[in-house]
Chain A
Amino acid sequence: MSGDGQGARGPGRVIGRPRRRVDGRAKVTGQTLFADDLFLPRMLFCKLVRSPHPHARIVAVDTAAARAAPGVKLVLTGEDFPIPYGIMPVSQDEHALCRDRVRHVGDPVAAVVAATERQAAEAAGLIRVQYEPLTTIASPEEALATPEPRIHDYGEGGNVHRLAHFAFGDVDEALRGADRVFEDLFFYEGSTHIPLEQHAAVAALDPDGRLTLWSSTQTPHYVHRELARALDMPAHRIRVIATPNGGAFGGKSDPFNHEIVVAKAALLTGRPVKIGLTREEVFYCHRGRHPVLMRLKTGVKPDGTIVAMDLETLLDGGAYGSYGAASALYTGALQTVTYHVPRYRFRACRTFTNKPPCGPKRGHGTPQPRFAQEVQLDKIAVALGKDPADLRLQQIAPAHSLTANFLKLGSIGLRECIERVVDGSAWRARRGKLPFGRGLGLACSSYLCGAGLPIYWNDMPHSGVQLKLDRSGAVTAFSGATEIGQGSDDVLAAIVAEVLGIEASDVKLVTGDTDLTPVDLGSYSSRVTLMAGNAAIQAAERAKVMLAQAAAEKLGVSPERLAFADRRVFDVENPDAGMGFADAVILAETKLGTIGTTGSYRPPASAARYRGAGVGPSAAYSYTAAVVEADVDPASGWVTVAKVWIGHDIGRVLNPVLARGQVEGSVYMGLGEALMEEQTFRRLPPRLSSALVHKIPSLLEYKSPTSLEMPEVVTYFIEEPDANGPFGAKEVGQGPLLPIAPAVANAVYDAVGVRVDEVPITPEAVLRGLEERGEGHAARVGPRAFPAVRWPDALCVAPPWEGGDGTAVGQKPGRAGRGGGGGAVATTGSRT
């Protein structure tokens, strides 16, 4: 067989060539069926009654009038949902409907199921809930200062959800020995995903009485698990089908209360039940970007080389755990991946507040500290009189090495990324030399290609793919991977086609269905291309062996001489001797019986063995550099991004059309966060229960970039294949977002000399900076204080170059050190 396996360079027959995505036709004809497009016979409709209070005890729920209303079939309350659930094993803190307490405006209290959506809505309006308001907590500062009442009775005490403190080497000593120490405060505002598809779900009993849930979810496997838990049903009686997501960006990765409610309603009514959230409800579901306050202290040598970094982060977690235990660690875990950091201390604190819960949004926890470090590096470069590009080029983390916190790095194409964007933007000729009001800013980043550990501890594969080959020549790939628009179906088809020498369009796909497809953990953490892709390669290679065996016998040559290409199987030394792909399948089926193969993938073991090391490890890391050119109007403070140059080390491009779309979409979303997007709340007066309501829960008022704000983007792909990636490929869906916000901030500084150490960089902030500048102060806008946090004792781990072996000082060997991706994260030093 031809050895065109992993790591090969250059385009393959399918891989690397621009191609219409396999689901492209469905999407442009409107035939893609999203969850809300499903209409089943006798289907009922569900509406939720949501709390108008941010924090209150539920005294009584009167459902009598609603039950008597026209068309109503069922009314549910918290009494019907005694079992808590949550995405992470360490924070099972949600009930599908609140039982005794509401914790944020929008928390669901009751559900009405009726014959029509209008009847459900009207009956929902008849439900009377008596609340006893409680003290509300609006911010991490208030959470730290207000230990009582507690929003949850678990966590680190008071209203602190999670604390972490890691020390990789003696950072204080290194800072004392540093030539210069730079200390800054930064704030990264929260933002929300806004998938244009509002969450929707349909539940129904199948003809055999089993429960089926169709839902716009990124994580059907986790929804499957949590449904089984919350409904107290055996998982094998439940089928979850992830319908194609109309955008997700992390916002559909939690198991949601509305999914559990309609599932229960279908079980109780015996009829299909649908729910579709309104746009306002989607804003209150949230699970988006955590607002994070950061203090970053970096010690450098005279030439700007980092000797130590000390980072503290304070997260506003909102009302529930969600992914927060992991999010907190992600605000520090990847800080060592971009540049070499010899010593590193990281402290994180996630607080509960009475606002919709935060969770994972594209980049999960990483854009915030990336912003801090990349803006601070710009300041260091200015202070030392160095070119910011050179400052970065001189200290890129070495490829194939361990970081201070024991992350295993693979291929690193960051140098070329930087060089390409520097050349493309004429950075060296123009930065610092443009007229007042126009500037260039540069920033870099790195991101993981799939979380190295699953959400719940287990040793099973993270991704499985099955292939079925039949005598028609058709190949069907079954995978739990979920199509959220990113192109996972196309990746699977392309990889299978490449290995078997057929076209991507020859591969049929069955995905995201817990009955039909092997488990894939979900479309999160940029994991699908690498993990499902590797599983697909394994399954396809196994099928290829079977076909080759049968074809070789027929052709009278050894299987090693066979090539698979152009829908043929043939002798490489005599290409005319061969057969069509379908004939090879027939021969194989004749010789071996029904042809089916499986492939599975589990990321390599992490070198980090300390508790809390479950967040950060990955099979590979992508790298990105961006230069942003911005115009700043000194009169209005308005920032216009004129052009973006972005270089992304993708390992290997699988489909250039889709890869470019991921980069441009990331740039777009990054610009939204940099300049305008804010998921913010205001406290109503006490007579209105001091409610913390979303300031702008509508698409008109929540500002996001439109087609008119989108600048030209020049994308460079750097193909530095990683041995762990399928055909060398790394992620592209999240990493390119990370450098955008800091590059904008650095461009604003270059344009008008104002440091805005927070996002979004609003015209008001820029004007305030310009006024300060005019008054002779340091022109800097941003947070002024970091509140006192009672940090636990550090968990001390010696870096690899100081003799460390990945365990913490004093740690006993054993299972604990494996630090599961969910279960054991964020356990602090004081407890070990």
Chain B
Amino acid sequence: MRPAHNRLTVNGELREVLFDATKTLLEVLREDLRLTGTKHGCELGECGTCAVLMEGRPVLSCLVLGVECDGADVTTVEGLAEGPALHPLQEAFADRGAAQCGYCTPGILLTAKALLDRNPHPTRGEIAEALSGNLCRCTGYLQIFEAVEEAARTERTDPPTQGRTYRPADAQARPRAGDAR
């Protein structure tokens, strides 16, 4: 099979990648772009571990084929911080014990970011609902809820990540293959 060739925006940077056309976005990110911050837990779309943002919406990268991503705008955990400054969600997760082993953390951070982007002050129930597709075996979720709430309280003066083409209005875009919810 001929390798696929894509141009996509990853964390605000245009990347060109040549990859085995059978690969999922998860595999392209980890194996071809070496962005190993995105983890895998099942490769069947069941655990939420591999969630990334595509056009600002959470998707399970194990259910998205790499070839579907030509021209896409993808955000991974590596794109959350502004230079050395952590995103408020990252600060809160680190401070509040929301990351124990840290393996489900990248997927949860991105899912939570998508939630806060569309609903800056969610209720506890809305947070639980938004994260219900992301399994965590360590924390029992409560410190994760608190961290999201703390991040929501944090006044965010930082502008959106540099170079990001995503705008909140895009969040209403059409559903795509691999949509987390």
Does A194 sit within 8 A of B, measured CB to CB? yes
Give the docked Cα–Cα distance between A713 and B81 (Å): 31
Q: Which residues of A contact B104 (CB under 8 A)?
A: 196, 246
Give the docked Cα–Cα distance between A82 and B127 (Å): 53
Interface residues of B in 74-88 (CB under 8 A from A): 76-78, 80-81, 86
**A710: contacting residue among B36, B77, B106, B140, CB under 8 A:** B140
Summed over the interface, the residue pairs from A and B with CB atoms below 8 Å come to a total of 179
Q: Which residues of B contact A699 (CB under 8 A)?
A: 41-42, 44, 46-47, 135
Does A814 sit within 8 A of B, measured CB to CB? no
Q: Which residues of B contact A245 (CB under 8 A)?
A: 101
Q: Which residues of B contact A249 (CB under 8 A)?
A: 137
**B78: contacting residue among A23, A30, A246, A712, CB under 8 A:** A30
Q: Closest CB-CB distance, A493 to chain B, in whole Å?
A: 15
Do residues A197 and B39 form an inter-chain contact, with CB atoms below 8 A? Answer: yes
Q: Mark A632-662, 1 if CB is under 8 A from B, else 0.
A: 0000000000000000000000000110110
Do residues B138 and A28 form an inter-chain contact, with CB atoms below 8 A? Answer: no
Give the docked Cα–Cα distance between A196 and B104 (Å): 7
Q: Mark A443-458, 1 if CB is under 8 A from B, else 0.
A: 0000000000000000
Interface residues of A in 184-226 (CB under 8 A from B): 193-198
Q: Which residues of B contact A657 (CB under 8 A)?
A: 95-97, 143
Q: Closest CB-CB distance, A482 to chain B, in whole Å?
A: 12
Give the docked Cα–Cα distance between A30 and B80 (Å): 10
Q: Which residues of A contact B131 (CB under 8 A)?
A: 707
Give the docked Cα–Cα distance between A197 and B138 (Å): 12
Does B37 sit within 8 A of A, measured CB to CB? yes
Do residues A665 and B49 form an inter-chain contact, with CB atoms below 8 A? Answer: no
Does A667 sit within 8 A of B, measured CB to CB? yes
Known A-B contacts A196-B47, A247-B103, A700-B46; A25 and B94 likewise in contact (beta carbons under 8 Å): yes
Do residues B103 and A21 form an inter-chain contact, with CB atoms below 8 A? Answer: no
Do residues A24 and B128 form an inter-chain contact, with CB atoms below 8 A? Answer: no
Known A-B contacts A28-B102, A660-B97; A279 and B42 likewise in contact (beta carbons under 8 Å): yes
Give the docked Cα–Cα distance between A23 and B140 (Å): 20
Give the docked Cα–Cα distance between A485 and B105 (Å): 12
**B22: contacting residue among A32, A118, A486, A712, CB under 8 A:** A118
Q: Which residues of B contact A21 (CB under 8 A)?
A: 94, 97
Interface residues of B in 132-156 (CB under 8 A from A): 132-145
Q: Which residues of A contact B145 (CB under 8 A)?
A: 707
Do residues A26 and B138 form an inter-chain contact, with CB atoms below 8 A? Answer: no
Interface residues of B in 59-82 (CB under 8 A from A): 76-78, 80-81
Give the docked Cα–Cα distance between A775 and B101 (Å): 49
Nearest residue (CB) in A for B23 is: A118
Do residues B34 and A39 form an inter-chain contact, with CB atoms below 8 A? Answer: yes
Most buried by A among B89, B93, B105: B105
Q: List 14 A-B contacts (CB under 8 A).
A: A25-B86, A36-B36, A196-B49, A196-B104, A197-B39, A197-B41, A244-B101, A484-B101, A657-B95, A661-B100, A699-B41, A704-B137, A708-B128, A708-B129
10 tightest A-B CB contacts, nearest first: A30-B37, A485-B101, A27-B102, A246-B103, A668-B140, A24-B94, A664-B140, A30-B77, A37-B36, A699-B46
A residues adjacent to B (C-beta < 8 A): 20-21, 23-34, 36-37, 39, 116, 118, 193-198, 244-249, 278-279, 484-487, 657-658, 660-661, 664-669, 698-700, 704, 706-708, 710, 712-713
